[in-house]
A and B are shown apart, each in its own frame.
Chain A
Amino acid sequence: MAVAVPWALLHAGREVVRAAGAHESLDEARARVDGLEYTRAIDSIREELPAGEAYLLVIGGKPNSGGDYWVRYDLAPRRAIYFGRLDEFSSSTEARHELPANLRHVVVTFDSGEPPRLYERYRFLQEIDRRAREGSSDR
């Protein structure tokens, strides 16, 4: 307790001072915590996709980085259908067969803190082909 109590009081004091001096909007607070680029990307997707819309969720980041969870939370109540991992798609033809007919938008998430990207479905298919071409030329 001799260490923990002063430590806890110091932490509490810092938080109270920070709260008393906070002059930021909700958006500014989000930008401070989540990062400016990430928050801008989320706000832009929110404007594009009305709250009742749904989207296809594609994970482009490392497994278990949490990036997909944070994007799904920040975009809720927009509903998500998990569509797969970005590196699993090798051609647009293959992906086109699996795309649900009634969803126009695809959101690709990356590692925690990295801004997500919104694609129209045809743009997403083009992106898959572009990545496939880049991958084959790298080899």
Chain B
Amino acid sequence: MTADLAGGADAIALFAVPGYGLTELFPALRRQPLPRRAAYGYLLGVAAVAGSLYGLSHTCGVALRAPAVWATASVPALAGLAARLLRRRRAGRAPRPRALAGLPSMVRSLGGPLAAACALAAAAICLGVFAEAMTNPPHDWDGRMTWCTQARYVRAAGTVDADVLLEERWSVTHPQYPLLLPVAQVAALEAFGADPDSHLPRAVYAAFLPALLLVVYDGTRRAAGPTAAALAALATAAAPFFVRGEGGAESTYSDLPLACFYGAALVLLLGPRPRAESSLAAGLLLAAAVLTKNEGTALACLALVLGWRARGSAGGAGASHRRPFRTGAWRFAAAAAPVVLALALLASWRAGIPNREDESYPHLVHTASLWPGIVTSPLAFVPVMIDKMNRFRHWAGLWWMAPAALLAGRRALRHPRLRRYLAAAAGPPAIAWAAYSVHPLPAFLAAVTWERFLLQAAVPLTIVLAGALAEVWRSLLPDPSYGGKAVLSSPPQKVPGGL
């Protein structure tokens, strides 16, 4: 048997196709070029299919078997198809076959030869990750300790309320960790009747890397132009930790998916012309963040606050100047509603599960003192954090460059949108700082988790760094032909083409 590349592609399609259908319902996503639309579609697909199965299994007792998986995946796919047909009928014309673009126009549409080369290199890196995932079984730490083991328990029981989680006597690490990604694993395995040792679930994780890069590209392109965006996406793909680190694309941790959900929601919420539909899409992604990892709840709340603060400055298509508050409140409600539902589901599911083999952070916050620990205990964990960021084999010097870039391009941070991205990027490290401050073994915890928190902040951080570097570039070479001309104040529609 060769590596099951076709099986892996099927597992990805199980989420990508329904998600692509969902993008048909959101005009801002529908109008994106195919690769970016597919990236948002994949994230929405995992959120919708795995999230629905999670909710249906817990609230309605739906068995997590192939019929339920296919039915859940069909609904958004068919809804998208119906919406497309309806839109075509309303437009009153038959769909026109697209003319095949020649190579020069494709290169132009990607933003020029440099951007096209970056896209090709990033695609090759993603292909390598996919190939690795389809050749090897999981070999990471937390993936096998927590997420993949939980997936096996849930698959065997056919429910997210498996006895092994509900009964305290069974040994389960982190039994209260949210199960969105294990449910996605179960969906992929059940849909294709795969062997428990099959590599199919790894394909689901590998596909988050191209999604992350395209979201980075989308957000950065709006902030710094297409060339800078392509370079930023390639730099992200080439940072070894994003690919091979504990939590990267070659692992089965939930950190990369969380980075994708959080980052994509931010790009939609903080974009130049947020609309209620985009806010709803962002809300679905934030709901997925809540159901992906514990810290997803805090990050979703932070994103909602930043989105709310962005409402006034953004204006927005169709927003009446007489009713900005009402329009902003409507957008906020559209984003917050899925998050509230996800929080309710998570609370209800957790209520029946006795916690064991886990840190109880609410208990630690009460027993250890967050204040003044938050300022006195860093002596124990900051050296570990610095050591981790200094590792060239993990970050290829990214953290040596980042402070210099931010300092040199600090003028770019005068723009409110970049400041919001900076605040969003500070979210995961702030959560880490608070957790280390109350933990009895802060240096150990920092050693095993710090880089994953940095990964979670990948999208907003890359956008800020690219914005700062574009500012430096502009001040050095005030050439109007530079791709970075389409910066923050310009609407994204004016920048041609792209991935």
Contact = CB atoms under 8 A, between A and B. Distances in A.
A34 B138 CA distance: 10
A66 B141 contact: yes
A76 B396 contact: no
Contacts of B273: none
Interface in B154-190: 155-157, 163-164, 169-171, 173
Contacts of A33: 136-137, 139
Contacts of B153: 76-77, 79
A1 B153 CA distance: 42
Main secondary structure of the interface of B (DSSP, over half): helix
Contacts of B127: 12, 16
B135 A76 contact: no
Interface residues of A, number: 42
A7 interface: yes
Contacts of B197: 26-27, 30
Contact of A73 (B3, B5, B128, B148): B148
Contacts of B124: 9, 12-13
Contacts of A81: 169-171
A19 B86 CA distance: 43
Contacts of A4: 235, 238-240, 396-397
Interface in B440-499: none
Contacts of A70: 144
Given A27-B197, A73-B152, A81-B171, A15 B135 contact: yes
Given A26-B197, A79-B164, A12 B125 contact: yes
A16 B170 CA distance: 40
Contacts of A57: 171
A72 B175 CA distance: 14
A11 B239 contact: no
6 contacts: A1-B231, A5-B121, A8-B243, A11-B128, A19-B3, A19-B5
The 10 closest A-B CB pairs, nearest first, are A12-B128, A77-B156, A4-B396, A19-B131, A76-B152, A4-B238, A19-B3, A82-B171, A69-B145, A15-B132
